[in-house]
Amino acid sequence: MVQLLSTEQMAEFANSGCLFFDGLIDNETNKEFLNDIGHTEIENVDNMQKYFQNIKASSSIPRIPAGTPLKNAYPHKSPLEKIFQNEVVAGAINSLVGSEAVVDHQFLHLTFPTKYFKKTNQRQMSQVNHQDSTIDPRITFDIQLFYFPTDVTKEMGGTRYHPGTHLRIVNEMGIAKYQNIKGQKKIVCKAGTIGIFHNGLWHGAGVNFSDEIRYMFKVRLQPTEKQELLWDPEKKYKPLPNKALYWTDENQEKTVNDILMKSYPWQEADTNRLDKINTIKFWRMLTGNKNLDIDYWLTRIENELY
């Protein structure tokens, strides 16, 4: 049985553009994955390119033609098949992109420690902020699923990301000049952690200042069906009634709308309101309710009488 996401988790994703499942995959599977790619003690790795080529040549990670259904993408009993069959992973995928999602691409990202850059006299720089993979004005969205087979410490420079940026439509590295953005986060996690990003989320890889290689396996999944109430097949979701604004009721309980309307420290005063409007439009799409509103943002401007 897959474990679909809760409405709160969907709202969290709609608002922040990401979800994390800390240490979800068991250690045995993590070890199996690392053995399969030929992970070895750092002392035995003397050349970055060669190490990477060996992984590509000998691991069970298949070459997957773009557009292949996820269902038949990974070899039977391989560590990656086990990961995608995990009930939480499968449930999250089904909730966001449906059970008939296809693979766009996959990659095993390796980030090498400082000594390899010193040896080859290269400047060790972090990856600039960007959005994958090109300007994308769709309402439909893809997800990028990340798997971390080892612990990622702060020194290892895990993926930097900017919660709440996923609905801003920019052109890939067009955001590279934003060196630092208030509220930026860096992934620090236990082995077996799974992260899921909306394809629009701004991000970049950090510099690895540790002595260990950092691994991150990524797969981008595309839906083939409308992303409406996929997490709620019985269609029980009902929009909440309007509440008093500004002159508010202090005793109001926190609801799913509070999750959806969360602000971020990097948002401009003016555009923050548009970010909220776009989140409500996104939630309309996800719930299939074209008239839904939160805090009157859309009702106010849709009341055109002329």
Least distance in Å: CB of 210 to Fe ion?
21
Site string for Fe ion, 53-92 (x = CB under 5 A): ----------------------------------------
Kindly state whether residue 271 participates in binding another protein, applying the rule CB under 8 A: yes
Cβ proximity to another protein, 179 vs 251, nearer residue: 179
What is the spatial distance between Cα 166 and Cα 244, in angstroms, rounded to a whole number? Answer: 29
Kindly state whether residue 169 participates in binding another protein, applying the rule CB under 8 A: yes
Angle, CA of 299, 302 and 305, to the nearest 5°: 120
Cβ proximity to another protein, 123 vs 236, nearer residue: 123
Q: What are the C-alpha distances in Å from 140 to residues 118, 151, 222?
A: 44, 33, 9
186 binds, among Fe ion, another protein, none (CB under 5 to 8 A by kind): another protein
Kindly state whether residue 127 participates in binding another protein, applying the rule CB under 8 A: yes
Angle, CA of 65, 66 and 67, to the nearest 5°: 110
Q: What is the DSSP letter of 111?
A: E
126 binds, among Fe ion, another protein, none (CB under 5 to 8 A by kind): another protein
DSSP conformation letters of 31-86? HHHHHHTT---GGG---HHHHHHHHHHHSS-----TTEEGGGTS-TT-HHHHHHHS
Kindly state whether residue 180 participates in binding another protein, applying the rule CB under 8 A: yes
What is the spatial distance between Cα 34 and Cα 59, in angstroms, rounded to a whole number? Answer: 9
Task: Select the residue interacting with another protein from 105, 186, 218, 262 (CB under 8 A).
Answer: 186
Kindly state whether residue 132 participates in binding Fe ion, applying the rule CB under 5 A: yes
Task: Select the residue interacting with another protein from 79, 192, 206, 223 (CB under 8 A).
Answer: 206
Closest CA to 127 of 171, 173, 166: 173
Least distance in Å: CB of 130 to Fe ion?
6
Task: Select the residue interacting with another protein from 177, 236, 238, 290 (CB under 8 A).
Answer: 177
Burial label, 11 (beta-carbon count in 10 A; 0-12, 13-18, 19+) = buried
Peptide bond into 210 cis (omega under 30): no
- For Fe ion, the binding residues (CB under 5 A) are 132
- For another protein, the binding residues (CB under 8 A) are 123, 125-129, 157, 160, 167-170, 174-182, 184, 186, 204, 206-207, 265-271, 274-275, 277-278, 281
